[in-house]
Each structure stands twice: as structure tokens, then as C-alpha cells.
């Protein structure tokens, strides 16, 4: 028997409220909402921009430091 693996994520109440607003019907799961939203981004070719924007703050933390800036001057 094949079993799907699941994970738990933590989101704040503001994001939950936004997900509630885009539900197709009250009993739609958050997984379904997220999948449907990603499908729209993929279909419209916006998925790259979506993920780049999501990663931007993490990458800034990695790249914005005095050691990298020193390499730029070499």
C-alpha cells in the first residue's frame, strides 16, 4: 500500500486569514488552496518570480556581509 507523506507547517494568523479568503468553498483544505494557487502561478509563468521573491530575504542575509563585500573590492 502506498502512503503519502505529510509534514506540518506553521503559519501566522494573518496568512491563515488570507488563505481563508481564497478558498473555493469552506471545506476546501489549505493543501488544496496552496496547490491551486501554485498551479495558477505555474500556468502564468510567474513561478520563477514567486520563488525568487520568497528566497530574496534569506539570500540577502547570506550575501550581505563584510566578507563578501571585501571580495568585491579585490
- Is the pLDDT higher at 73 or at 13? 13
Cα–Cα distance between 30 and 47 in angstroms, integer? 19
Count of C-beta atoms within a 10 Å radius of residue 64: 9
Cα–Cα distance between 30 and 10 in angstroms, integer? 12
Q: What is the pLDDT of residues 24-49, one digit of tens each?
A: 888 999 999 999 888 877 777 666 66
Cα–Cα distance between 62 and 4 in angstroms, integer? 34
With a CB cutoff of 8 Å and minimum separation 6, the contacts of 36 are 24
Q: pLDDT value at position 70?
A: 58
Domain boundaries, given as residue ranges, for the chain: 13-72
Grid cell for residue 49: 518570480
Reported pTM: 0.53
Amino acid at each position: 500500500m502506498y502512503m503519502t507523506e505529510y509534514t506540518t507547517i506553521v503559519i501566522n494568523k494573518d496568512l491563515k486569514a488570507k488563505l481563508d479568503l481564497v478558498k473555493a468553498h469552506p471545506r476546501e483544505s489549505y493543501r488544496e488552496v496552496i496547490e491551486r494557487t501554485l498551479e495558477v502561478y505555474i500556468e502564468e509563468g510567474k513561478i520563477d518570480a514567486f520563488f525568487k521573491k520568497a528566497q530574496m530575504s534569506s539570500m540577502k542575509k547570506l550575501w550581505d556581509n563584510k566578507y563578501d563585500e571585501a571580495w568585491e573590492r579585490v
